[in-house]
Structure 1
Amino acid sequence: METALIIGASGGIGRALSELLQARGVEVTRLSRSVDGFDLTDPDGVARISNTLADPFDLIIVASGALEINGAEPEKSMRAVSARAMMDQFALNAIGPALVLKQAHRLLPRDRKAAFVVLSARVGSIEDNRLGGWVSYRASKAAVNQIVHTAAIELARTHKQAACVVMHPGTVKTAFTKKYLGRHPAVEPEEVAENLLAVIAGLSPTDTGGFFDWAGKRVPW
């Protein structure tokens, strides 16, 4: 792994991934909304900035995402669903990664091993949903899982050595999760980065289209 593109590099996980990769000698290109204006909810901006990336990357990770957008907290029941809040969740957590995946055929090499990883969440698993709630966030993550799985099928036709997957990073101690940790155990972003990169290093083309957790175990759809 020689080159990497980290989208959402200013966030807790994205920053930790970028720093760890650089410490390992990887040439890292960082993109984020706060630093570079790379806003996943802006299709024109995503296309414009993506077109400035010339050389293919051995690893691409989309680490952007949000649990709260514009002050809208995760719903406790269906009665709290708001069309605006749900559209915001889909724009960032599902459509945004899809816009980057549109460029994957150009941004990934065809002649060597490569990986395209989108950070999702276990709560996006329909089979594993036993508690309900968090309707918009769950739905947006289930949607991005389907998007990545579909993109993986297409990429496999031209990028024979690539693995395109979604990953659940675990519960991470970041500003993103602070209000919702409760009694759930959480780990530091640096540990999450170590875990994710260990799994990514072991990915093969036979894993493409899969949904994995931070320990490399498959997550049910």
Structure 2
Amino acid sequence: MNNPINPTNALIIGSSRGIGLGFVKALLQKPNINIYATYRQRNLATELFSLKTEYPQQLHCRQLDITNEEQISNLSSYIHQKTSQLHLVINCVGILHEGSLQPEKSLRQISSENLLYYFKINSIGSVLLAKHLLPLFRHSNKSILAFLSAKLGSIGDNNLGGWYGYRASKAALNMLIRTVSIEYKRLCPQTIVVSLHPGTTDTNLSKPFQQNVPEDKLFTVDLTVNQLLNVIDNLTGEDSGSFFSWDGSRLPW
């Protein structure tokens, strides 16, 4: 992030693997940065904790279940004890499949339990983060609050159907973030709030669905992270409340 702040304080939500871990690795290469990184399960965060050993002063790891508002509040309090400002927050937590939870191909597969689970992780957790982190954005420096969404959450781009829970929860995320951006503009006007589509990235989330993805459209984690950081670096205040793809283009709602 091209930011004159010294130091820059960043928070990456969902850093145990995949794109979140990639962001941590990339940001650690930048000078004068403090990174707060969250993980849900310690046993899945071995690489993150190896980085913590390598960068003990810059990297701070905290456990977080994004469906637990008390833990989100405690995370905000923990960071506030360390610093009064955040300058970059990226929420990388999302779910598409997990065990018996799989994207629905038809109405026959819809269940209220699965729909609620999609919304708790893909939508509600993000707006709770925006709620509890707001005090850390009440400063005069340019800052970014970004959430990984998905092009599949675009209502205007939905021409194939299916994947009800994932599509709907990401569409809800986009609406929540758009609404957050309006309130943040009043309360912390230097903060740019955006949804980001990372493209299809070679992670556990996309792995079962990669067979039909063209080779040049299946991104490595490093490429995705670099592309999204480039988008983030070029955001201006007028971009707050928008939905951007990995190449910097705006996506339809």
CA offset digits 1:128-181 (Å, max 9, x no partner): 000000000000000000010000000001222221000000000001110011
Q: In the alignment, which residue of structure 2 is the partner of 1:197? A: 229
Aligned length: 221
Answer yes or no: is the 8 Å Cα contact 1:69–1:88 preserved in 2: no
Q: Distance in 1 between matches of 2:202 and 2:69?
A: 30
The letter of the residue matching 1:105 is L
Q: Distance in 1 between matches of 2:36 and 2:125?
A: 18
Q: In the alignment, which residue of structure 2 is the partner of 1:30? A: 37
Q: Distance in 1 between matches of 2:111 and 2:22?
A: 33
Q: In the alignment, which residue of structure 1 is the partner of 2:166? A: 137
Answer yes or no: is the 8 Å Cα contact 1:162–1:204 preserved in 2: no
Answer yes or no: is the 8 Å Cα contact 1:16–1:193 preserved in 2: yes
Aligned mate of 2:13, from 7, 10, 27: 7
Q: Distance in 2 between matches of 1:168 and 1:135?
A: 18
Aligned mate of 1:115, from 144, 157, 170: 144
- Higher deviation after alignment, 69-78 or 10-19: 69-78
Q: Distance in 1 between matches of 2:87 and 2:138?
A: 7
What RMSD over aligned residues (CA atoms) do the two structures have, in Å?
1.1
Q: Which consecutive unaligned segments of at least 5 residues does structure 2 have?
A: 43-61
Q: In the alignment, which residue of structure 2 is the partner of 1:214? A: 246
Cα displacement (A) at 1:109 = 4.3
Q: Distance in 1 between matches of 2:152 and 2:138?
A: 32
Q: Which consecutive unaligned segments of at least 5 residues does structure 1 have?
A: none
Answer yes or no: is the 8 Å Cα contact 2:76–2:133 preserved in 1: no
- Normalising by structure 1, we get a TM-score of 0.96
- Normalising by structure 2, we get a TM-score of 0.85
Pair 1:69–1:91, CA change in 2 (3 A): farther
Larger radius of gyration: 2
The letter of the residue matching 1:33 is R
Q: In the alignment, which residue of structure 2 is the partner of 1:52? A: 78
Q: Distance in 2 between matches of 1:107 and 1:121?
A: 26
Structure 1 residue 21 corresponds to structure 2 residue 21: no
The letter of the residue matching 2:124 is I
Give the 3-state SS of the residue equivalent to 2:186 in structure 1: coil
Cα displacement (A) at 1:70 = 4.5
Structure 1 residue 188 corresponds to structure 2 residue 217: no
The letter of the residue matching 2:38 is L
Cα displacement (A) at 1:69 = 3.5
